[in-house]
Structure 1
């Protein structure tokens, strides 16, 4: 039997909102595997939701730079939020996004590129580390571009123009008018910031994720005593619901005042104003610290250890 710790139970509760004992039992049943325990709880109908997003613990900023048919977002990390509020750090993050707009979203290429004012981006980061006295990294970058149309953008939690906690880019292919296209792109970008879709449409979702969803739905139906012919129908219905919740184009558009249109329907409706067909070809969403965990510090234990009691 796995050594199930309180921290593991806490993490599973945060992911599923299930009860403490249910979480402990799930971890015991799955040998301490968190993701397998999530599925175990879902199959038993004990998990309210399987939260996919990683815990966001890293500090710093996401910076966005968009111009016409191209846009890029970068994540620049620091050790503390205090440094993220430093004007020098903010200026650097913004400048790095501007560099990335010209050279693309490969981190190594960005770091090797010329930084405005002299040297390379990597050298500027090292110089800023020396000046401020805190470690910093260019963690990742993502780009969207179209041959005809616009790239809409939005920054959530903005602390300065183009700098914040979440950056979103949405690519719209169209030969229509740029101004209403940009307005639509920003609205869809705001939607993406709020809903964090897993993909653009059903075809863009990882088949392994869909297979896992099918397995959970089938196991849960069988657990409820449903016959196999009914299980199959429940699974198909559940997968359709999953796509509506997980894919951008099938989600209900949060900007629709009536709360009825999907994103795809809102895009279609906008074609009259734009004066041409519109196709959403892609999107990116960078959330600060996504997928990175920072070690949690037990301050009381640190004090006790320093006093020779730990």
Structure 2
């Protein structure tokens, strides 16, 4: 009989995030040797990576770090929340984030090519996925430059790592207001900083849609330009941060709040796991 206990199975599962059956089989094959069992799980996992390629990775975390006057934020995904909160997955995220930040990665491709423990991040993720037994995917990475930053990481469940992350780049001295605006971004989910950044094609498409809606509602043709303009402005208030109603006081715009606080928002990023 293999020389291991239920406690050994539990410890190895918590370390690697592997399934009960696979963990027990590996310990049996390794005759209770934990290090050998890890290697067995890794080898078996490597063979299974290709089979997992099409699986959905809707769980995971968002993490961010500041380095050399820049902030790097990323989303690392896996298949289950069991793995997402596992120490091995969290350690992997730390290594990937450090490697991405070291090169100022502003794309997944740049991050995957970065060095981590003497190997490309892509290989590190593949090796760890083989041990964990689930598909692991680096979904998004951005590095922001700026004068000052506010990093806000939000947990949607106390048992899981952060699921929503916001980085706000700004100038000025009111860190409290900057943090409040970062929290607003996590809730309001703007797509652009200002209305000037919204692509013209996107604005024109919205204009066509609201024009058609207004006509279908029987609005007078002479009144259409004013009605359409009002609805396009409402669209800007949905997608452009500075135009949005401030979450803590919807009588004020984010632009007004920032201006009153003497800060200028220069950039932002918002990642939400699976979104």
TM, length-normalised to structure 2: 0.72
Partner of 2:59 in structure 1?
59
- Structure 2 residue ranges without an equivalent (≥5): 1-55
Q: How much does 1:120 deviate?
A: 2.8
SS of residue in 2 equivalent to 1:226: coil
SS of residue in 2 equivalent to 1:261: strand
Asked if 2 retains the 8 angstrom alpha-carbon contact of 1:79 and 1:136, the reply is yes
Would you say 1:285 and 2:266 are equivalent positions? no
Aligned residues: 218
State how 1:194-273 maps to structure 2 within 5 Å. Answer: 194-256=187-249, 259-271=250-262
Deviations 1:223-259 (A, max 9, x none): 1222322111110111112212321111121134xx4
Would you say 1:98 and 2:98 are equivalent positions? yes
CA RMSD of aligned residues (A): 2.3
Residues in 1 aligned to 2:80 and 2:211: alpha-carbon distance in whole angstroms = 45
Deviations 1:79-120 (A, max 9, x none): 2121111111011112212222221222222222221x4433
Residues in 2 aligned to 1:159 and 1:126: alpha-carbon distance in whole angstroms = 27
Would you say 1:167 and 2:165 are equivalent positions? yes
- Structure 1 residue ranges without an equivalent (≥5): 1-55, 272-277, 291-310
Would you say 1:152 and 2:150 are equivalent positions? yes
Residues in 1 aligned to 2:223 and 2:162: alpha-carbon distance in whole angstroms = 48
Q: How much does 1:260 deviate?
A: 2.1
Identify the structure with the greater strand proportion. Answer: 2
Asked if 1 retains the 8 angstrom alpha-carbon contact of 2:193 and 2:241, the reply is yes
Asked if 2 retains the 8 angstrom alpha-carbon contact of 1:144 and 1:151, the reply is no
Change (3 A) 1:85 1:164: same
TM, length-normalised to structure 1: 0.65
Residues in 1 aligned to 2:69 and 2:240: alpha-carbon distance in whole angstroms = 23
